[in-house]
Structure 1
Amino acid sequence: MKVITYRNFCKNPKHYLDQVTENLEPLTIARKNHRNAVLMSAETYHNMRENQYVLENSANRGWLQESLNQAHQGQTIQHNLIQ
């Protein structure tokens, strides 16, 4: 994750806003004598929250783990897509 100073962020906020929305990569803004902040696109944020919601449920985690185990063991089925 890229880190910039608050001062540099203030010089060109549009550049950094464009950067996080185009690259979908969060940006840490370091502040002197204050806690740092993280800037991220709304898309990245919503994806993170959705993952958190899914993984908070133990039944979902179990289902996902079972699917991963099946994939690692080659227990997959290939389907042709309808066009």
Structure 2
Amino acid sequence: MLAVNYTELRGNLREYMDKVSDDFETLIVTRKKNKNIVMISEETYNNMIENMYLMGNQTNYKWLMESKKQLEDGLLQVKELLEVAADE
């Protein structure tokens, strides 16, 4: 996680935006009166929203936790996928 004040960000906006998007850094932009801003990449944001949705639904959460437990307990099956030509 990086922290930078508004003046520094304004002077080097492209550099900081590249760090956020290319390196998946979280950037805290510090401002007066503790009105700080968090900058994250669109990909990070989308992942966060998806996780909040999946984990926020009790049915989904239980299903995911049961699946995780099965995986950790070695209760899985590996299957080979067959590739089918597009013209078939």
Q: Give TM-score scaled by structure 2 length.
A: 0.84
- 1: CA distance, partners of 2:69 / 2:9: 44
- 2: CA distance, partners of 1:62 / 1:7: 46
Structure 1 consecutive aligned stretches of length 4 or more whose deviation exceeds 6 Å: none
- Structure 1 residue runs without a partner (length 5+): none
1:81 deviation in Å?
A: 4.1
> Which SS does the other structure have where 2:34 is aligned?
coil
Quick one: structure 1 residues 66 and 29, their matched pair in 2 at CA, closer, same or farther if it must change by over 3 Å?
same
Code of the residue aligned with 1:69 in structure 2: it is: K
- Structure 2 residue runs without a partner (length 5+): 84-88
After TM superposition, the structure 1 = structure 2 runs for residues 19-30 of structure 1, keeping only pairs within 5 Å, are 19-30=19-30
Matched, 1:50 2:46: no
- 1: CA distance, partners of 2:15 / 2:81: 41
1:34 deviation in Å?
A: 3.5
Tell me the percent identity.
Answer: 36
- Greater C-alpha Rg: 2
Code of the residue aligned with 2:50 in structure 1: it is: E
Name the Cα RMSD after superposition: 1.4
